[in-house]
Amino acid sequence: MEKLAKKLTIIKYGTNTLVTTDVNGEITIDQNNMKNHGLLISAIKNPVIIVSSGAVAFGKSLGSSFDYIEDNIIRKRVFAALGNPHLSINWDKVIQDKQVLQSLITHRDLTFEDSKEKIAEIIHALFDYKGTDNVVIQVNDNDFITDEALIEIRHGEFGDNDETTALLTILCQNVFEEVEVIVNTSSDGVLDNGKLLSKIKSSQLSDDYIEAICGADKTNDGTGGMRNKLKIFRDMVNAAPQSKLTIVNGKKPEQLNAVIRGKKIGTVICS
């Protein structure tokens, strides 16, 4: 497969960038924020893949409880199955003049050679033409079928779309000449004692340093948190050193706009 002489933009969304939670714990979709991000994605002319968390939270927002399911992981899988089409429909509504294709994949799909080849093949075919500005692939972890892989592949983390983003980036470096990754979180970037770190080399990100600056920051509706992200994206940059990764605040869509326009904002992680 010959590399496409194009730039791919992978945009990752954490759960907390797409929903809001009130004091009673009720989850609602942040429609205004999704609309603003959709408009920005609509304007991108090069190939775009969205890796979007939020299926579990979107499922919970519909009002069902599934309290009769005692196993918490199985209940989350059911919420993901309920929320995934809802998540995809919402992206399709806010992204204008583009066809949004939903792709539910697992970490296993991105680690086994046969499935990796199939994923690379369809991505290559979709974007191997001049009109690359009218298709967006929206990727989410297929949590409905991944019970046996939670520990082996995900190290105990449920629905880890940060890892999916990293594995997809490593795969796509063999499909595109350039891959840019933009990670939308609930923070303006990586902070060290309250100070924003504008640039970090992957060699600086030892486990001890990551623990020192992040601590225990894992979110409730997602499984990421900055600590988990830094470890995953450090390894990603080491495996795909030509890729560019920027962490920004997804609640401030102007930051995504700035990165798209080539401006320096947030935290860049590089080799």
DSSP 216: S
Structure tokens at 207: 């486990």
β-pairing verdict for 195-197 and 190-192: antiparallel
List, for residues 32-73, the tens digit of each pLDDT value. 999 999 999 999 999 999 999 999 899 999 988 899 999 888
pLDDT of residue 63: 84
DSSP letters along 217-235, please? ---SSSS-HHHHHHHHHHH
Residue among 14, 145, 147, 158 nearest 87 (CA): 14
pLDDT score, position 193: 86
pTM for the full predicted model: 0.91
Give Cβ neighbours of residue 211 (< 8 Å, ≥ 6 apart): 227
Number of other CB atoms surrounding residue 220 within 10 Å: 10
Contacts of 165 (CB under 8 A, 6+ apart): 10, 12, 51, 181, 183, 232, 236
What mean pLDDT is reported for the chain?
Answer: 88
